[in-house]
Amino acid sequence: MEQLPRIAPAVPPDELLRVLVADDEESMLEVFGKVLRVPYEPTPPARARLDPHSTSPRGLVTPSFDMVFCRQGDEAIEAIRSGLDEDRPFAIAFLDVIMPPGPDGIRTAEQIRALDRNVEFVIMTGAADIGPAQVGRRVRPPEKLLFVQKPLHGAEIRQFAMALGAKWWTERLLERTLRGLEAQVAEKTAELSKLNEELRADRDLLRAALERRRELEFIVNKSGALVFLWRAAEGWPVEFVSENVNQFGYTTADFASGNLRYLDIIHPDDRDSVMGEVARYEKEGRAEFSQQYRIVNATGDVRWLGSSILVRRDSNGNITHYQGLASDITEKMIRQSLLAQRQKLEAIGQLAAGIAHEINTPTQYVGDNTRFLQDSFAGLNRLLSKHEKLRQAARCGAVDPALLDEIDRAVVATEVDYLVEEIPKAIEQSLEGIGRITRIVRAMKEFSHPGAEEKVPINLNNAIETTLTVAHNQLKYVADVVTDFDPALPPVPCHPNEINQVVLNLLINAGDAIAASIGDRPGRKGKITVRTSCFDDCAEIRIADTGTGIPDKIRSRVFEPFFTTKEVGKGTGQGLALSHTIVVEKHGGTISFDTEPGKGTTFIVRLPLAGDTP
Amino acid sequence: MGHTVLLVDDDANLLAGLRRALRNEPYELVTALSAEDALKILHARDVDVVISDENLPGITGTHFLKRVRESFADAVRFMLTGAATLDVAIDAINEAGVSHFFTKPCQTTDMAMAIRMALKQKDLIVAAKQLLFQLRRHEAMMQRLEKQHPGITQFEEDADGAIVIGEPPSDYDELMREIKKHLGG
């Protein structure tokens, strides 16, 4: 059997449908009451008509109705109104046409329709009351209108009520369902539009991010600073590099292909030290670090690169990537080395007068002594020739006393006693002078030796001794220099000429500080103590003076470039700034000071002993 | 009367060398290792020439020579320095009034010559001062004689510029005695 679609339950399960009956005939109302209030016992054929799908005899039809009886049209209108107000609308209104003295059934239906657009009308007419066409015109809509000829039978009334009730209920159900569906649709629409909104926001964010990325790439590429991401694996394979790597003649594709790794572009001489430094920073657990090293560009030229690197770790703390920012600092390195050179010349220039004195004074007396020896030798030679005469005369056996007198006179004239006493002294002092000249010249040479690119392990004590020799004349009138060197100090890996320069700068500053503190009082001298020692895994140099000390307010500025307290022409304010650069940046050491105004200052330089130099 | 030359330098070897170089020069050579010692010597005896280094312990040579100029103006001042910069030279000349500026190393014979010249000049100045002094004495005497014997200092010259000596005055002998007395005979 073909099944019809089941739309909705035919009648409400637990609510009585309301039926209004308006008739001025009491007997008619009684019929309605009897028929519609009596529980309906479905007969099998009736049930089958009502519910064609039901095959089991379950009591699924509520046969009773909630009845309201009216004898006048006005009453009926009022009942409808209050039913609506109480939200208990009527399903069906049975209206008699003739209900004197009030409005007739048609009029009543018109007015009810104005209040209730759902109620089903059944207009009951007598034989010749009114034509169906007229009723149909006045009571709308036609599909909610039935009109029947009186008299009505009970069974007819029941069927009308059942059918119209089911229709009314189904419509309400449909209406409610529609309304529910509409609400659902509205809700779904709202949800969708919200999602849509979110999607759009996400898309905007993404677009903004892409835009931002484009901007950043633009900035990065214009800035000249390379952005690198490389994996912590053999040779450092590059996962990302900004396009401006083309400034070195490479392309991003070179790296993307994996043929070129980051380590490959680092200068071969610097690879070990760069990797060594990275290994050291890793061991120290540093999250970021900076390095300076050389790279070789695509055309084989060497450039200096300064890089700042951020370490990326996985959840286990293992390093996975290095994220880097690297820029070409070649010009800066050149400038710095020129500046260093200039500062060195300046420092030496400051010492020049002292060094000249140190050389010229011995030269003077070596010259004087040599001429003295020349003259003395001439005199002694003359005396010798007279003695030769005496020797020959003695050999012949006849010594003329006059000859002896002549020799006596010559001995006096030649000042032999004086010469015998003076000549050894003159020789000794000359040798001493030559020694002084040799020492200062050698020290100058060692001091200003241009030095190698790589750090070399040196005996720091000897290097400081050399620098002290160079600075000796500058310091000797203002201070006694005391040294306290640790003889067990291991070789210190460094750029010797740079460290010499640092020590010289500190010594000159110490001398200047003492000169300022003793002022014009002659004969007063300060003291400079130079001490070396091992401190942890560093070599430590302490240079202490008994000078003026550094006033509070300038303490933070002493390492600033161009900051000087010296009078114009005496210093350009580069000494300590450069010393700082040399110690901290180039050697990975530290430079600091303790100072007490009026008592003196101690500068402390620490250089790592375990250098990264192979 | 013998001359004295004072050498000041903080380097004993330099002083010894110069002493040898100048040993046969006609003056006494004294030396000092510091400005302090040098000033002691200057207070104790006459010094004709002071030769100083610029770098002295606790004081510059210029400063020291300036004090010599203030306290012992007659002493001729030289500078001998190894740190010969223009600034030092200018200060030495303008403030200390040095008459010679030698740079180390210098030819000691040049310095010896300069010392001799300075001493000779000093002698000349002394001699000139003595002559001036004598001249003043003579003028004073002449004025006194003219007062006592008007016309005695007048003389005539002939056409060739020769002094015309007339007859000796009657009191010639007495006059000569008086002149001899004035001249301190």
CB contact under 8 Å between B58 and A524, yes or no, is yes
- CB-CB neighbors (< 8 A) of A525 in chain B: 58
Average confidence (pLDDT) over A127-145: 81
Residue at token pair 């292909």: A257
Closest Cα in chain A to B85: A353
- CB-CB neighbors (< 8 A) of B35 in chain A: 522
Average confidence (pLDDT) over A4-29: 69
Q: Give residue A63's pLDDT.
A: 53
Burial of A179 by CB count in 10 Å (0-12 exposed, 13-18 middle, 19+ buried)? exposed
Whether A328 and A304 have beta carbons less than 8 Å apart is answered as: yes
Higher-confidence residue: B165 or A260?
A: A260
Handedness of CA A62, A66, A70, A74 (dihedral sign): negative
Q: Give residue A50's pLDDT.
A: 38
Higher-confidence residue: B30 or A564?
A: B30
Whether A593 and A558 have beta carbons less than 8 Å apart is answered as: yes
A422 pLDDT more than 80: yes
Give the pLDDT band of residue A425 (cuts 50, 70, 90): very high
CA atoms within 13 A on the CB side of A298: 11
Nearest one of B54, B69, B65 to B102, comparing CA atoms: B54
Give the pLDDT band of residue B48 (cuts 50, 70, 90): very high
CB contact under 8 Å between B17 and A365, yes or no, is yes
CB contact under 8 Å between B17 and A372, yes or no, is yes
pLDDT (tens digit per residue) in A550-580: 888 888 777 876 677 766 556 666 788 888 8
Average confidence (pLDDT) over B87-105: 91
Average confidence (pLDDT) over A526-550: 91
Average pLDDT, chain A: 83
Average confidence (pLDDT) over A4-11: 43
Instruction: Chain A: give the shortest CA distance to residue B63, in Å.
Output: 11
Q: Give residue A393's pLDDT.
A: 87
Whether A96 and A24 have beta carbons less than 8 Å apart is answered as: yes
Nearest one of B47, B87, B99 to B71, comparing CA atoms: B47
CB contact under 8 Å between B83 and A353, yes or no, is yes
- C-alpha to C-alpha distance for A456 and B142, rounded to whole angstroms: 93
Tell me how many residue pairs between chain A and chain B have CB atoms under 8 A apart: 85
Q: Give residue B63's pLDDT.
A: 93
Nearest one of A580, A466, A464, A564 to A516, comparing CA atoms: A564
- CB-CB neighbors (< 8 A) of B14 in chain A: 361, 364-365
Nearest one of A229, A489, A266 to A276, comparing CA atoms: A266
A47 pLDDT more than 50: no
Chain A residues touching chain B at CB-CB below 8 Å: 353-354, 356-369, 371-372, 422, 425-426, 429, 432-433, 473, 477, 521-525
pLDDT (tens digit per residue) in A329-354: 888 888 877 777 777 777 777 677 77
pTM of the model: 0.52
Q: How many C-beta atoms lie closer than 10 Å to residue B107's C-beta? A: 13
Whether A295 and A245 have beta carbons less than 8 Å apart is answered as: no
Higher-confidence residue: A433 or A46?
A: A433
Whether A419 and A442 have beta carbons less than 8 Å apart is answered as: no
B144 pLDDT more than 90: no
CB contact under 8 Å between A522 and B58, yes or no, is yes
A461 pLDDT more than 90: yes
- C-alpha to C-alpha distance for A583 and A575, rounded to whole angstroms: 12
Q: Mutating which of A358, A365, A570 best tests the B interface, going by the most B Cβ atoms within 10 A?
A: A365
- CB-CB neighbors (< 8 A) of A350 in chain B: none
Whether A288 and A309 have beta carbons less than 8 Å apart is answered as: yes
- CB-CB neighbors (< 8 A) of B105 in chain A: 360, 363-364, 367
- CB-CB neighbors (< 8 A) of B58 in chain A: 477, 521-525
- C-alpha to C-alpha distance for A59 and A62, rounded to whole angstroms: 8
Q: Give residue A413's pLDDT.
A: 87
Maximum mean pLDDT: which of A416-425, B79-88, B153-162, B172-181: A416-425
Closest Cα in chain B to A352: B83
Q: Give residue A40's pLDDT.
A: 47
Q: Mutating which of A359, A360, A371 best tests the B interface, going by the most B Cβ atoms within 10 A?
A: A360
Structure token pair of residue B163: 């002094």
Q: What are phi and psi of A525, to 5 degrees?
A: -135, 145
Q: How many C-beta atoms lie closer than 10 Å to residue B29's C-beta? A: 19
Give the pLDDT band of residue A520 (cuts 50, 70, 90): low
Q: Mutating which of A357, A359, A364 best tests the B interface, going by the most B Cβ atoms within 10 A?
A: A364
pLDDT (tens digit per residue) in A240-275: 888 888 889 999 898 888 888 988 999 888 888 888
Q: Give residue A60's pLDDT.
A: 37
Strand partners, B146: none
Q: Which residue type sits at A195?
A: L
Give the pLDDT band of residue A14 (cuts 50, 70, 90): low
pLDDT (tens digit per residue) in B72-94: 999 999 999 887 788 889 999 99
Helix ranges, chain B (H)? 12-21, 35-44, 61-71, 86-94, 108-148, 172-182
Instruction: Chain B: give the shortest CA distance to residue A405, in Å.
Output: 24
CB contact under 8 Å between A523 and B57, yes or no, is yes
Average confidence (pLDDT) over A307-314: 90
Residue A466: its H or E element = helix A460-475
Whether A38 and A66 have beta carbons less than 8 Å apart is answered as: no
Q: Give residue B46's pLDDT.
A: 93
Whether B83 and A353 have beta carbons less than 8 Å apart is answered as: yes
- C-alpha to C-alpha distance for A104 and A469, rounded to whole angstroms: 138
Would you give the DSSP letter of residue A582? I
Residue A363: its H or E element = helix A330-396
Closest Cα in chain A to B106: A364
CB contact under 8 Å between A357 and B55, yes or no, is yes
- CB-CB neighbors (< 8 A) of A367 in chain B: 17, 105, 108
DSSP characters for A497-551?
HHHHHHHHHHHHHHHHHHHHHHTT-TT--EEEEEEEEEETTEEEEEEEE-S----
- CB-CB neighbors (< 8 A) of A354 in chain B: 55, 83
Question: Which residues are within 8 A (CB) of A505 and not within 5 positions of it... i.e. 6 or more apart?
Answer: A343, A347, A575, A576, A578, A579
A307 pLDDT more than 70: yes
DSSP characters for B76-112?
EEEEEESS--HHHHHHHHHTT--SEEEESS--HHHHH
Give the pLDDT band of residue A8 (cuts 50, 70, 90): very low
- CB-CB neighbors (< 8 A) of A371 in chain B: 21, 108
CB contact under 8 Å between A361 and B14, yes or no, is yes
Q: How many C-beta atoms lie closer than 10 Å to residue A54's C-beta? A: 13
- CB-CB neighbors (< 8 A) of B85 in chain A: 353
B133 pLDDT more than 80: yes
In the three-class reduction of DSSP (H, G, I as helix; E, B as strand; rest coil), residue A435 is classed as: helix
Instruction: Chain B: give the shortest CA distance to residue A506, in Å.
Output: 22
Angle between helix axes A330-396 and A496-518 (nearest 10 degrees) is 80
Structure token pair of residue A460: 């720091």
- CB-CB neighbors (< 8 A) of A359 in chain B: 82
Chain B residues touching chain A at CB-CB below 8 Å: 9, 11, 13-14, 16-18, 20-21, 35-36, 53-59, 80-85, 103-106, 108
Whether B44 and B64 have beta carbons less than 8 Å apart is answered as: no
Handedness of CA A488, A493, A494, A495 (dihedral sign): positive
Residue at token pair 């009648």: A11
Strand partners, A591: A605
A448 pLDDT more than 80: no
CB contact under 8 Å between B14 and A365, yes or no, is yes
- C-alpha to C-alpha distance for A561 and A554, rounded to whole angstroms: 13
Closest Cα in chain A to B104: A360
Whole-number CA gyration radius for chain A = 60
Residue A303: its H or E element = strand A302-313
- C-alpha to C-alpha distance for B159 and A130, rounded to whole angstroms: 195
Whether A613 and A455 have beta carbons less than 8 Å apart is answered as: yes
Nearest one of A357, A365, A228, A358 to A295, comparing CA atoms: A228
- CB-CB neighbors (< 8 A) of A363 in chain B: 104-105
Strand partners, A607: A539
Higher-confidence residue: A505 or A42?
A: A505
B47 pLDDT more than 90: yes
Closest Cα in chain B to A522: B58
- C-alpha to C-alpha distance for A18 and A16, rounded to whole angstroms: 6
Closest Cα in chain B to A426: B17
List the strands of the sheet with A120-125, edge to edge. A65-70, A17-22, A92-96, A120-125, A145-149
Nearest one of B11, B52, B64, B53 to A353, comparing CA atoms: B53
Closest Cα in chain B to A369: B17
Closest Cα in chain B to A367: B105
B70 pLDDT more than 90: yes
Q: Give residue A52's pLDDT.
A: 36
- C-alpha to C-alpha distance for A506 and A475, rounded to whole angstroms: 12
Give the pLDDT band of residue A1 (cuts 50, 70, 90): very low
Give the pLDDT band of residue A288 (cuts 50, 70, 90): confident
CB contact under 8 Å between B57 and A522, yes or no, is yes
How far is Cα of residue A369 from the mean position of the Cα atoms in its chain?
Answer: 73
Q: Give residue B145's pLDDT.
A: 83
Pick the range with the lowest mean pLDDT from A97-106, A116-125, A553-562, B133-142. A553-562
CB contact under 8 Å between B17 and A425, yes or no, is no
CB contact under 8 Å between B104 and A371, yes or no, is no
Q: Give residue B17's pLDDT.
A: 94
Instruction: Chain B: give the shortest CA distance to residue A358, in Å.
Output: 8
Nearest to B82 among A357, A433, A477 (CB): A357
Give the pLDDT band of residue A291 (cuts 50, 70, 90): confident
B95 pLDDT more than 50: yes
Whether A369 and B15 have beta carbons less than 8 Å apart is answered as: no
- C-alpha to C-alpha distance for B118 and B115, rounded to whole angstroms: 5
Q: What are phi and psi of A350, to 5 degrees?
A: -65, -30
Q: Mutating which of B8, B19, B20, B107 best tests the A interface, going by the most A Cβ atoms within 10 A?
A: B20
CB contact under 8 Å between A357 and B103, yes or no, is no
In the three-class reduction of DSSP (H, G, I as helix; E, B as strand; rest coil), residue B42 is classed as: helix
Q: How many C-beta atoms lie closer than 10 Å to residue B35's C-beta? A: 25
